[in-house]
Amino acid sequence: MVQLVDADIKTREVLDWKGVHVLHFMGSSCSQKLRIFLNLKGIKWESHLVDLFANENFKPWFLGINPRGLVPVLVHDGVVHIESNDIIQYLEQKFPTPALIPAGHENELAALLKHEDDLHLDLRTLSFRFVFNPPGPPKPAAMLDSYAANGAGTVGGIKDHNKEIQIEFWQRAAKEGFTDERARASAQKFRVAFDALDQRLAQHPCLMGDSLSVLDIAWLIYAHRLSLGGYPFARLHPRVTTWMEKLLARPEFAKEIAMPPAAMTRLEATRRSQVEAGKTLEAVAGF
């Protein structure tokens, strides 16, 4: 569990916040995952939006709350928790009903969530290449300088290297973009992962058995994001497709991943240009 200690927190006002507060962004996959969890749990929470498109997560105020510069962040009665899967597991302990982590399977689910989290930079690569498709560098150099310079630089009181990984990712993206080679490698990882999930769904309607769990929430977000990018789920993973459609029909899920009309218009234009250039996700990945 990633819980910040006093020395990690430079924006001191959050230490006085009472109740459940969530700092998040509407289009962030990890934020979407947490919001769906909160919906299903029926937990009341206060929203604090952090605009990733405006790079608010790289500014001193936010870095003073989360030195890693990532959303979502949970502040529960003045205690700061970061990393979405850790936040969810913490909240499951604090708000145990309805159960979304099967009793006796806590360690198994934690390991499965780690596998999902290990693919997050691959999801980001495919998202920026096939969904967001920004016209220039996704993160300006000045914002990366602010990211590097601000925040405690520690997590749990220990020097943290996670930010270095994030900065290297964005610097590489600015230098070379999201190349066919990188996109292909990321897509192949997801094909292996979704093949395994398809096999799980051959036995049960949900990923951990007969009942909905946190694992379904986590992978639904990934599947939906990749479907926006043109990943061919229906052809490659038909059981995942059926499972995804059932979950997206539920309002607790649907409202958190809905895209504004303007964003859908941009996405449709991006998809048309990729088809015309022969550079769809399916073509680049070689599926």
pLDDT tens for the chain, 287 residues long, are 788 999 999 999 999 999 999 999 999 999 999 999 999 999 999 999 999 999 999 999 999 999 999 999 999 999 999 999 999 999 999 999 999 999 999 999 999 999 999 999 999 999 999 999 988 899 999 999 999 999 999 999 999 999 999 999 999 999 999 999 999 999 999 999 999 999 999 999 999 999 999 999 999 999 999 999 999 999 999 999 999 999 999 999 999 999 999 999 999 999 999 999 999 999 999 99
CB 48 within 8 A of CB 74: no
Identity of the amino acid at 233: F
Q: Is residue 208 part of a domain?
A: yes
Locate 255 and state its tokens: 């409202």
Cis before 98? omega within 30: yes
- C-beta pairs of 201-208 under 8 Å, 24+ apart in sequence: 201/239, 201/240, 201/242, 201/243, 202/239, 205/243, 205/246, 206/243, 207/243, 208/102, 208/105, 208/109
- The CATH number covering residue 214 comes to 1.20.1050.10
3 sits in which H/E element: none
Q: How far is CA 118 from CA 85, 121, 224, 226, in A?
A: 11, 7, 18, 16
What order of strands is seen across the sheet that includes strand 79-82? 46-49, 20-24, 73-76, 79-82
Q: Is residue 119 part of a domain?
A: yes
Locate 102 and state its tokens: 């099967």
pLDDT value of position 176: 95
Q: Is residue 216 part of a domain?
A: yes
Distance of CA 123 to the CA centre of its chain: 8
Listing DSSP states for 58-103 in one string gives GSHHHHTT-TT--S-EEEETTEEEESHHHHHHHHHHHS-SS-SS-T
pLDDT value of position 2: 82
Q: Is residue 145 part of a domain?
A: no
Phi, psi of 48 (to 5 degrees): -130, 105
H-assigned helices in the chain: 29-41, 60-63, 84-94, 106-118, 120-127, 141-149, 162-176, 180-201, 214-228, 233-236, 238-248, 251-257, 261-277, 281-285
Q: How many domains does the chain have?
A: 1
Range(s) of the domain holding residue 225: 109-139+178-285
Q: Is residue 225 part of a domain?
A: yes
- The structure's pTM equals 0.96
Distance CA 207, CA 219 (A): 9
CA atoms 98, 104, 106, 109: torsion sign? negative
**Cα angle 68-133-275, degrees, rounded to a multiple of 5:** 145
Q: Is residue 167 part of a domain?
A: no
Q: Is residue 98 part of a domain?
A: no
pLDDT value of position 274: 97
Q: Is residue 153 part of a domain?
A: no
CA atoms 152, 13, 62, 79: torsion sign? positive
| Beta bridge partner(s), residue 73 | 23, 82
